[in-house]
Chains A and B, each alone.
Chain A
Amino acid sequence: MRKRRIIPGVDPKLLIKDAAKVMPDPGRRFFLRGAASLGALTFLTGCDINDSFSAESVLRKISEFNDGAQALLFSQSKLAPTYPESAITKDFPFNAYYTEDEAPEVDGKAYKLIVGGMVENKKTWTLYELYALPQERQITRHVCVEGWSAIGSWTGARLSDFLKHIGADTRAKYVWFRCAEGYSNTIDMATAMHPQTQMTFKYGNEILPVKYGFPMKIRIPTKLGFKNPKHVMEMHVTNKDLGGYWEDKGYNWFSGL
């Protein structure tokens, strides 16, 4: 049991504030403060502020447990509902951790998708070659971790076909994606092999615009929006969880729908 102590003359709120200052990442800092706000309770009992840290680590552990629970619930044959064209959301929202005019401009002519890790054929792929892959269209619902959702039309190649094509070891645990702006995602192989998981080249009837992830987005209708990387430059088949931009900050890793 942790020893409780009350430091005379020290305002626990200020103490938290000071502790928060040394936390490098603003996300973690806010989280810490919030965890502490549970706690007028904790303040009153004079608990060591380290209790907030342990609350954070317990919650992370439970989030990892939830990854496992979601992987169990995930079924490769369960398809995300599809919608008629009339259901498509007008002005499908742009969403990122940067503004729309900051979205990376990738030169389509020079683009070469890098393929690495546990695959037999590591040749790079030009857009011309990628566009030649058999493609299909899906009208599915994009669900954001914030709660809103929007229905869009995406056209592209099945990731599962592509992975087989390049001789990927599909017994590997993960596929990792690196994006032009420094964003990244790691997804589980079961989801990568889902028939609706798509290397997307078109939104609606047009080549994928910059705001939706030119030249290639990975559309995963069985996962939350932030697990659908845009401007994908590289994919890596791996047994190591290489994390991702939001996952590393505390969002649930599996984030299945």
Chain B
Amino acid sequence: MSAQTADGGAVIHPRWVRITHWINAVAIIVMILSGWRIYNASPLFEDFDFPNEITLGGWLAGALQWHFAAMWLLVINGIVYVTLGILTGRFRRKFLPIRPGEVAADIKAALTFKLAHEDLSVYNAVQKLLYLGVILCGVIVVLSGLAIWKPVQLQELTALFGGYDIARYVHFFAMAAIVGFLLVHVALALLVPKSLRAMIAGK
């Protein structure tokens, strides 16, 4: 798609990408912050919990209410995004192919601050890998979440994750991976402000 904006210039992110991106941003932040509070009620790791001040919900029941409200937003928006991403061919165009050699070269370039960001409409190999990876983590976090929410009605799914207890760890680490992505993603968006503009204005 090479749509043009009114004042000329190619659109980097079509409207549906921008809308689903920002809905997703709100949903995932609510899910993460309320999830931290839920985690604190019964931590998986003895010496680790999240400071209550940075969690959402105030107490366990409040956090659960936020979590099971935002889940609808996350899942419905996520389905719309992935469906359109596949149907419009955007995923294939933007994310594929990923060649290991290019990934290695781009990681090296990134670490030596030589990775170019001239054309925002073309993703480098590291971006491709990370964007596809975080979409995969999103799918895993939703499925493992369903597995621990409904270990009786969806017991086949729970079994697929190795049972209720293991599914809790999967859910946790998928969250951790998404948080890790977010830290890099937000830092880079701030370092390259035109990328932030593109996700708001489209170009």
The residues of A with any CB-CB pair to B shorter than 8 Å are 27, 30-35, 37-38, 58-60, 62-63, 66, 73-75, 78-81, 141, 143-149, 221-222, 246, 249-252, 256-257
Interface contact A141-B151, CB-CB below 8 Å? yes
Interface contact B150-A149, CB-CB below 8 Å? no
Bound CA–CA A59/B42 (angstroms) = 23
Q: List 29 A-B contacts (CB under 8 A).
A: A30-B58, A31-B59, A31-B62, A35-B56, A35-B58, A37-B56, A59-B66, A62-B68, A62-B69, A62-B72, A63-B68, A78-B155, A80-B155, A144-B42, A145-B60, A145-B64, A146-B41, A147-B41, A147-B42, A148-B42, A222-B152, A246-B61, A249-B61, A250-B61, A250-B65, A251-B64, A256-B153, A257-B151, A257-B153
Number of residues from B at the complex interface, CB < 8 A: 31
Residues of A within 8 A of B148 (CB): 147
Q: Is B20 an interface residue (CB 8 A)?
A: no
Residues of B within 8 A of A144 (CB): 42
Bound CA–CA A74/B168 (angstroms) = 22
Residue among B58, B63, B165 making CB contact with A33, cutoff 8 Å: B58
Interface contact A37-B58, CB-CB below 8 Å? yes
Interface contact A34-B58, CB-CB below 8 Å? yes
Instruction: Return B66 CB to nearest CB of chain A, in Å.
Output: 7
Residues of B within 8 A of A74 (CB): 153
Instruction: Return A97 CB to nearest CB of chain B, in Å.
Output: 12
Interface contact A31-B61, CB-CB below 8 Å? yes
Bound CA–CA A8/B26 (angstroms) = 30
Residues of B within 8 A of A143 (CB): 151, 164
Bound CA–CA A73/B65 (angstroms) = 19
Residue of A nearest to B151 (CB): A257
Q: Is B28 an interface residue (CB 8 A)?
A: no
Residues of B within 8 A of A59 (CB): 62, 65-66, 69
Bound CA–CA A174/B5 (angstroms) = 58
Interface contact A66-B68, CB-CB below 8 Å? yes
Residues of B within 8 A of A81 (CB): 151-152, 155
Residue among A78, A246, A250 making CB contact with B153, cutoff 8 Å: A78
Instruction: Return A180 CB to nearest CB of chain B, in Å.
Output: 24
Instruction: Return B148 CB to nearest CB of chain A, in Å.
Output: 8
Residue among A30, A60, A79 making CB contact with B65, cutoff 8 Å: A60
Q: Is B38 an interface residue (CB 8 A)?
A: yes
Residues of A within 8 A of B55 (CB): 34, 37
Residues of A within 8 A of B155 (CB): 78, 80-81
Residues of A within 8 A of B56 (CB): 34-35, 37-38
> Given A37-B53, A59-B66, does the pair A31, B152 have CB atoms closer than 8 Å?
no
Residue of B nearest to A251 (CB): B61
Residue of B nearest to A52 (CB): B58
Q: Is B39 an interface residue (CB 8 A)?
A: yes
Q: Is B145 an interface residue (CB 8 A)?
A: no
Instruction: Return A198 CB to nearest CB of chain B, in Å.
Output: 15
Q: Mark B57-97, 1 if CB is under 8 A from A, else 0.
A: 11111111110110010000000000000000000000000
Instruction: Return B77 CB to nearest CB of chain A, in Å.
Output: 16
> Given A221-B152, A257-B150, does the pair A27, B61 have CB atoms closer than 8 Å?
yes
Interface contact B62-A35, CB-CB below 8 Å? yes
Bound CA–CA A37/B69 (angstroms) = 17
Residues of B within 8 A of A257 (CB): 150-153
Residue among B41, B53, B57 making CB contact with A35, cutoff 8 Å: B57
Residues of B within 8 A of A37 (CB): 53, 55-56, 58
Residues of B within 8 A of A80 (CB): 152, 155
Residue of B nearest to A75 (CB): B153
Instruction: Return A67 CB to nearest CB of chain B, in Å.
Output: 11
Bound CA–CA A146/B40 (angstroms) = 8
Instruction: Return B202 CB to nearest CB of chain A, in Å.
Output: 25
Interface centre among A32, A62, A79 (most CB of B within 10 A): A62
Residues of B within 8 A of A38 (CB): 33, 56
Bound CA–CA A145/B58 (angstroms) = 16
Interface contact B62-A250, CB-CB below 8 Å? yes
Residues of B within 8 A of A256 (CB): 150, 152-153
Residue of B nearest to A58 (CB): B69
Residue of A nearest to B71 (CB): A66
Residues of B within 8 A of A30 (CB): 58-59, 62
